[in-house]
Amino acid sequence: MAADPLSAEEVRALSIFPLPAATLLPGAVLPLHVFERRYRDLVRDALAQTKTLAVARLKPGFESDYEGRPPVYDVCGAGRILEHREHRDGRYDILLEGLARVRIVRELPPATLYRVVHGEVIHDSVLDAGVAAALETKIRELWGTLGPELPESLRDLGQVIRGVEGAGRLADRLGAVFAGDAELGQALLCEPDPGERLRLVAERLQAQVDALEPTPKSRARWN
């Protein structure tokens, strides 16, 4: 079994960056512009330590308590800061690389302006190889059908998934393509079964293909 991407100490006290419509899947790279005081503090402290933090998605209705500690979904994406740029006024631009799915066990008592949780890493469940192979084949077929409708950078599936090994990583890489779909992103993040993640991706691709059929000249919507 591969070593956990996060240490036990990192998971026991994991700083979270709550966002309304963003998820961080393992293997994905998420650019963030950090301007609020509490999250500037978070990034500063992370850079001084292990560069680890997690992106947690805010639950609907957060607006009324945004300045406080509104509820977040209990599965978040933990990652490490790959690159950062600090502006003169204290703002940051960072690139965050996803490393693991983490379930929030409990939120720790306030000790900083930002929030810290005690979490546990969610490992992938056992994969049905036959199911995964069938879904991978289906995904390749659907991607081929969508090819002309996709942005140029996404037309070659081989390039999109270059360097990816295993069904779980494949599903996460493809899921990151739909970064603008917060609901799909959260569903993929919460799902420990790699085969089920592939099914969710295949469903989304099928919906894109189906949307082309009534009006062949229409363009698939990609975020």
Q: Cα separation of 42 and 187, whole Å?
A: 26
CA distances in angstroms from 11 to 16, 53, 72, 73, listed in the order given: 11, 9, 17, 16
When pLDDT is averaged across residues 145-158 and rounded to a whole number, the result is 88
Q: Which of 92-101, 145-154, 207-216 has the highest mean pLDDT?
A: 92-101
The structural domains of the chain, with segments of one domain joined by +, span 8-122, 129-212
Secondary-structure class of domain 8-122 per CATH: mainly beta
Which pLDDT does position 39 carry in this prediction? 97
Q: Cα separation of 177 and 170, whole Å?
A: 11
When pLDDT is averaged across residues 35-49 and rounded to a whole number, the result is 97
CA distances in angstroms from 140 to 46, 59, 135, 156, listed in the order given: 39, 33, 9, 10
Quote the pTM value. Answer: 0.87
Quick check: 35 and 84 in contact, CB under 8 A?
no
Which pLDDT does position 29 carry in this prediction? 94
Which pLDDT does position 222 carry in this prediction? 44
Which pLDDT does position 214 carry in this prediction? 62
**Per mean pLDDT, which range of 75-89, 131-145, 202-216 is the poorest?**
202-216
Quick check: 42 and 53 in contact, CB under 8 A?
yes
Token digits for 156?
């070659």
